[in-house]
Chains A and B, each alone.
Chain A
Amino acid sequence: MSRGRKALRAFLMIPLALAFVAVVLASQPPATLTVDDIVARHVAACGGLEKIRSIESLRETGRISAGADRKALVTRELKRPNRTRFEFTVQGVTGVFVTDGERGWKMSPFDGNTDPTPLSDEVVREAAEQGDLEGPLVDWKAKGHQVELVGREKLGEREAYKLKLTLKSGAVRYEYLDVKTFYLLRTESMREMRGRAVQIQANFSNYSKTRGVLFPRKIELAAAGRPQHLLVVLDKIEINPPLSDALFEMPDSVTP
């Protein structure tokens, strides 16, 4: 090969190499992503703002297990704004726990009581946090939350951005987003259990999309330093199922 042809070939290779580098760089997250960048990528990974905002109601059906003798079927229904309804079925007996964001009530035959009774303020407050069906990171500024990037941490085989999320209510939790997929891997929060502050971890996995929106199918809940785990496996997810407002209304016969 002549020197001239070699030079020409090298010259032609330069744009190809540059293009290759550009593609590689574009596929890698920048080294210094801002909180806004991370959240934007997370929202995109979840299906995009438009699809997420189109969800008016949600029904998730699955199974909960906390050991051999503690298994239940569970249905979680959410409806904007901040309305939640949980149904737990154990051995043919179904109890309901409902909140509308401000008040809550339950019918828990497991406790031997078929009267509707009000939920404690603490439970209602926690349910209201979970009633945001699009998740707190979506439109976090408009919702009055604060988010800051704490750093990157290893979660098993994966690496995650650790975000400190301070909810409008003042409650603090940490959200771990996969640095590659931007899926939510873990949420950490503090809860009061029998008078003791305990760190609760929720780990999310088995992600798949329903009507273009990403959902975890497996959720494992555990308290730090405790051996017990609560495992939730979701078998079915329905987007915008018809949920009447009456489902979330407190019956007149609620007894304090």
Chain B
Amino acid sequence: MRAARFLLPLVFLVPLPVFADDVYLQGGAKFSGRIVEQTETMISMDIGDGIVGIAMSRVDHIVKAPSPLDTYDQKAAKLGPKDAQGWRNLGRWAGQEGLSAQSRKAYQHVLVVAPDDPEAREALGFVLFDGRWMTEEESYVAQGYVKYEGEWMTPAEAQLAQENAEAEQARQDTERQAREEETAKLQEEAQAAKVEKQAEWEKSTRYWNLPVYLGGWGIGASAWPSTGTDSQWLQQWPRQPSSETPK
């Protein structure tokens, strides 16, 4: 049976009862969060960054456990919007719990109050370069890196990779051309064989229709095979063509 697939994050507009659980799958994978719905065939679980669907057929066992998501919500509810230190601590805690989405949310609160807070900036992926906060990718560009096939690297390596890719493409083109030429050659040979076979067939048909075969009328007595060479003569005679023309 195929695996349960991640469902696209769904938005539940209606409040649902939540249960904090760890859902263990056969083989060791695990989902931690809040079960929002459970049927005989499927569990829907809020993992704090969307809802995922888990096929019951894959579930090994479920352990009731307090969810860090609940703890996050309780802690966040106690923080005022200007409590930078509180949000910073919460962001740090959520990160240590593996709740990346909650950690980001908390650190974004910090930036509202303290836009240049180093911990929050770094946690949100910003890099301090030349005294200015910028995104990781902006910092790569600023450092002179280039993106080649989705990977950041030095221009020299990108150039080399490009040259290698072109050389590989040229090699593949050469191989393809050689294969095509070989195919064309084989087709020519097949065509030549077909023509030859056709010619043989036509020749045999021609012989087959010779009057001599039909009784020897009209070609004179000298053309008749002697009794002594009859069998040899027959062996040299083209075989009777089949009813089909040669391919």
Partners in one complex: yes
Given that A112-B5, A112-B6 are known contacts, is A92 also in contact with B152, CB under 8 Å in the complex?
no
Residues of chain B within 8 A (CB-CB) of A67 are 125, 136
Q: How large is the interface on B (under 10, 10 to 19, 20 to 34, 35 or more residues)?
A: 35 or more
Is the pair A251, B152 in contact by a Cβ cutoff of 8 Å? no
B99 interface contact, C-beta 8 A = yes
A205 within 8 A of B: no
Interface: A164 (CB within 8 A): no
Find residues 70-124 in chain A having any chain B CB closer than 8 Å to their own CB.
Answer: 71-73, 85, 87, 89-96, 98, 105, 107-109, 112-116
CB distance from B92 to the nearest CB of A (A): 11
A91, B157: Cβ atoms closer than 8 Å: no
> Is B6 within 8 A of A73, CB to CB?
no
A63, A87, A91, A225, most chain B CB atoms within 10 A: A91
Q: How far is the CA of A60 from the CA of B192 in the complex (A)?
A: 72
Residues of chain B lying within 8 A (CB to CB) of residue A247: 28
The proximity string for B residues 1-15 relative to A, scoring 1 for CB distances below 8 Å and 0 otherwise, is: 011111000000000
* Chain B facing A: main interface SS: mixed
Contact yes or no, A225 B3, CB < 8 A? no
Interface residue? A3 (CB, 8 A): no
Q: Are A90 and B28 in contact (CB under 8 A)?
A: no
B153–A96 contact, CB under 8 A?
A: no
| In the complex, chain A residues 128-146 whose Cβ is within 8 Å of any chain B Cβ | none
Residue-wise interface mask of A (161-196) relative to B, using a CB-CB cutoff of 8 A (1 in contact, 0 not): 000000000000000000000000000000001101
Nearest neighbor of B122 in chain A, beta-carbon distance: A68
Per the 8 Å Cβ criterion, residues 122-150 of B in contact with A are 123-126, 136, 139-140, 143, 145, 149
Question: Closest 6 A-B residue pairs measured CB to CB?
Answer: A68-B125, A94-B30, A115-B3, A107-B29, A92-B32, A92-B47
Residues of B within 8 A of A (CB): 2-6, 25-33, 47-49, 52, 54-55, 58, 68-69, 95-96, 98-101, 103-104, 123-126, 136, 139-140, 143, 145, 149, 151-154, 156-157, 161, 164
Q: List 16 A-B contacts (CB under 8 A).
A: A68-B104, A68-B124, A89-B98, A91-B98, A93-B29, A94-B28, A94-B31, A95-B29, A96-B28, A109-B6, A109-B29, A109-B31, A112-B5, A116-B27, A194-B151, A225-B157
